[in-house]
């Protein structure tokens, strides 16, 4: 059937392994449905879905690799397309809600909170988000040195799309990079998840106008406020419906990520993957210390954060995970709605410890070593500063780390050596899962800690 366009181009089922894989996926979904009917907890089903996705992806790719060109030229792409129908479909529904949730949350927060409280809250939020990013960069330096990683094994040409994107970013000055975050079209801002910083800016301007008009002419502005608050309730209701599909989407998302990249490609950059995940788990340990120092039980935090972390890992989108992040903070961790929505929203664009912290810092150290630079205190301090400042305004969507890496490497004067680590970008989805999980966990941590500093967290709910 591989010679018939109907099967290869339209139906995307020209190989027996494609059909078998689809049936195996359906079987996995049925198993999860049975668990749901048996009242198995949501977090447990999320973990089972993650394991099923890993097993399914590895099993199909390992078996498919024995089928030669029938798999690599046809079945691999076909399976990825069919699995993405479910996985990416669920993720798109989550992302559909991200922009309205960010906008309505910012409007709600700024209109309700007193001006002096916003200033204090912003300082504390930036301290946590950027402070943990600086720590993550330092951890990345330590991991590269500990494992003695070098760029020699990761050389390779960048794909044209990646190279073009990096070239566009590299051509911008640092001030121009931030200037481009300021929106000039309110409609385009509301139609793309990659402009979350712009959404925050628009939301803040709208909320500021509402605050001003509430003092001057409250009768006129109140109907508009009521409409916005009603929209927020509608979006929250939609969110609860979509979240029920998450375990099913995770199976397809994780397995398709592995199948799309292939086990052989993953093995060629295994040392870098291991290094990055070691850095991720070290940061998770540091989060636990921060929680303990602030009088909060880290075990309780991770138990309640677990299902959110699993979804972030599978979806590879901090923005896509935002609705679930907010739900976890408010419903399970006892964080006040005001602080949860303000800090977690900022966390999708500022101080992402994985994509804008660990990853670009590791690449910076690798290229510095490859070009003969000395990793002295001066270089490390410069690296941490560049990574931390560059993490401001990086949107939390798949591909974000490419932007963060480009900004960091150009800031260090190493942008022209990108091809020496080109192979790393070839396995980006694999490392992106860990990076995104760290991004979201860092946002959860910052929200909890700042709420604790503000004495607003419901400790009874947190420890329940």
pLDDT value at residue 376: 87
pLDDT value at residue 66: 87
Which residue from 2, 164, 5, 103 is spatially nearest to 341, judged by alpha carbons? 103
Pair 348, 95: CB distance under 8 Å: no
pLDDT value at residue 115: 60
Q: Mean pLDDT, consecutive 10-residue segments, the chain of 464 residues? A: 75 89 95 93 86 92 88 90 89 80 80 72 92 95 91 64 61 67 76 69 86 84 88 83 85 88 76 93 97 96 93 84 88 91 86 90 89 86 89 66 79 75 77 92 96 93 90
Eight-state DSSP code of residue 157: P
Using CA atoms, how far residue 240 sits from 1, 229, 234, 328, in Å, is: 42, 17, 10, 12
Which residue from 365, 339, 328 is spatially nearest to 440, judged by alpha carbons? 328
Burial 371-401 (b: 16+ CB within 10 A, else e): eeeeeeeebbeebbebbbbbbbbbbbbbbbb
pLDDT value at residue 68: 85
Euclidean distance between CA atoms 63 and 74, whole angstroms: 14
Angle value at C-alpha 405, between 202 and 386, nearest 5 degrees? 80
pLDDT value at residue 319: 80
Euclidean distance between CA atoms 406 and 424, whole angstroms: 13
pLDDT value at residue 438: 96
Tokens linked to 98: 């991200």
Angle value at C-alpha 168, between 163 and 171, nearest 5 degrees? 120
Which residue from 308, 254, 235 is spatially nearest to 42, judged by alpha carbons? 308
Provide the total of helices (H) and of strands (E) in the chain, helices listed first.
Answer: 23, 0
pLDDT value at residue 160: 62
CATH superfamily of the domain spanning 5-96+117-179+245-463: Sodium:dicarboxylate symporter (1.10.3860.10)
pLDDT value at residue 172: 61
Q: Considering Cα of 371, then 372, then 378, then 384, what sign does the dihedral take?
A: positive
Which residue from 311, 265, 250 is spatially nearest to 88, judged by alpha carbons? 250
Euclidean distance between CA atoms 220 and 50, whole angstroms: 51
pLDDT value at residue 398: 58
pLDDT value at residue 448: 97
- Name the residue ranges covered by the structural domains of the chain: 5-96+117-179+245-463
CB within 8 A of 389, min separation 6: which ones? none
Q: Taking the model in full, what pTM does it have?
A: 0.81
């Amino acid at each position: 059937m591989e010679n018939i366009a109907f099967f290869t181009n339209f139906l995307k089922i020209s190989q027996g392994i494609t059909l078998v894989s689809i049936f195996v996926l359906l079987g996995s979904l049925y198993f999860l449905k049975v668990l749901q009917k048996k009242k198995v907890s949501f977090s447990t089903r999320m973990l089972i879905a993650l394991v099923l996705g890993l097993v399914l992806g590895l099993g199909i790719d390992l078996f498919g690799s024995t089928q030669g060109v029938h798999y690599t030229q046809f079945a691999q792409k076909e399976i990825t397309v069919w699995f993405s129908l479910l996985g990416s479909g669920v993720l798109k529904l989550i992302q559909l809600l991200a922009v309205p949730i960010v906008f309505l949350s910012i409007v709600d927060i700024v209109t309700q909170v007193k001006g002096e409280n916003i200033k204090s809250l912003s300082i504390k939020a930036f301290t946590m988000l950027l402070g943990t990013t600086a720590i993550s960069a330092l951890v990345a330096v330590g991991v590269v040195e500990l494992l003695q990683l070098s760029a020699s094994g990761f050389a390779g040409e960048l794909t044209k799309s990646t190279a073009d994107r990096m070239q566009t970013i590299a051509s911008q000055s640092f001030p121009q990079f931030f200037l481009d975050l300021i929106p000039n079209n309110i409609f385009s801002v509301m139609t793309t998840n990659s402009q979350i910083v712009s959404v925050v800016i628009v939301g803040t301007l709208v909320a500021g106008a509402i605050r001003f008009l509430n003092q001057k002419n409250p009768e006129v502005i109140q109907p508009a406020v009521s409409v916005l608050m009603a929209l927020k309730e509608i979006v929250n209701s939609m969110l609860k419906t979509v979240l029920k599909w998450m375990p099913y989407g995770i199976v397809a998302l994780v397995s398709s990520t592995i199948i799309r990249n292939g086990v052989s490609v993953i093995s060629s950059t295994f040392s870098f993957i291991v290094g990055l995940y070691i850095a991720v788990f070290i940061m998770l340990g540091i989060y636990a210390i921060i929680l303990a120092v602030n009088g909060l039980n880290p075990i309780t935090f991770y138990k309640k954060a677990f299902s959110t972390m699993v979804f972030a890992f599978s979806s590879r989108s901090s923005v896509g995970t935002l609705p679930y992040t907010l739900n976890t903070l408010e419903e399970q961790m006892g964080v006040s709605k005001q602080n949860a929505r303000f800090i977690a929203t900022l966390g999708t664009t500022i101080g992402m410890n994985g994509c804008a912290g660990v990853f670009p810092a590791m690449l910076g150290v690798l290229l510095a070593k490859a070009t003969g630079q000395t990793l002295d205190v001066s270089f490390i301090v410069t690296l941490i500063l560049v990574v931390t400042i560059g993490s401001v305004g990086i949107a939390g969507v798949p591909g974000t780390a490419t932007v963060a890496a480009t900004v960091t490497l150009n800031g260090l004067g190493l942008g022209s050596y990108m091809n020496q680590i080109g192979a790393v970008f070839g396995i980006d989805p694999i490392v992106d899962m860990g990076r995104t999980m760290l991004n979201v966990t860092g946002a959860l941590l910052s929200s909890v800690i700042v709420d604790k500093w503000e004495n607003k967290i419901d400790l009874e709910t947190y420890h329940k």
